[in-house]
Structure formats: C-alpha cells, structure tokens
Amino acid sequence: MLAATLFFYAVPRRADMFAAIFRRTLAIVLGRAGAVHLLSVILTLAYLSMISLIAFHIVPWTAGAALLALPPSIRLRWCFRHGAERMDEIIGMKWAAWHHWVFGLLFVFGISL
C-alpha cells in the first residue's frame, strides 16, 4: 500500500518536472507578440506559395479555389490583434481550425479537378 501511495505521489511530480523542461513550444519561446508575428508570416507564406505553385504551373489553376479561405485567415489574424481580449484569443483557436480545414479541403479539391 505504501509503495502504491508513493507511486501515485511521485509520478505526477515527475511528469510536471519533465513538462517544465521539455514542453517549451515555439510560441512559448517567442512570447505572445512573436507568436502572433509568426502566425502572420505563416499565413502569408501559405497563400504566396500557393500562388507561386499556380504561377509556375506546378499545380492547376483550379487550386486557386483555396483563396476562398482568405476570409477565415483574416478573421483568425484579427482575433490575435494587439489589445484583443482573452475571449477573442480563445475564439481565434476555432478560426484557426476552420481556416486549416477550409484551406486544405479547397486546395486538395482544386488539385484533384
């Protein structure tokens, strides 16, 4: 019984220790302002790379349907604007999922035509 009690006491403490050491994401390292800037860069590069792939005829022009995902990306970036409330940032996670889903589906659909 004592061994089981020590096990259940020690495991969460070890897990917290490892989490503090190893779970430092890029967003945590960059800080809030850096993470928002990184989000803007990633969104911009996604659309620029798609346009470049179409311009160089690597993917068909129908892949440009993914441009219809631009409004969710603008809304996503707006949720993380300077001075946004915490609730806007929480809602921004929903917009990130929507953008990822819409952009991916439209791009794959455009390529498959």
30 and 41 in contact (C-beta within 8 Å)?
A: no
Residue with tokens 């441009």: 67
Per-residue model confidence as pLDDT tens digits over 38-79: 999 999 999 999 999 999 999 999 999 999 999 999 999 999
CA 75 to chain CA centroid, Å, is 13
d(CA 66, CA 47): 8
- The pLDDT of residue 87 is 94
Per-residue model confidence as pLDDT tens digits over 1-12: 555 554 555 556
Angle at 103 between CA 30 and CA 79, to 5 degrees: 45
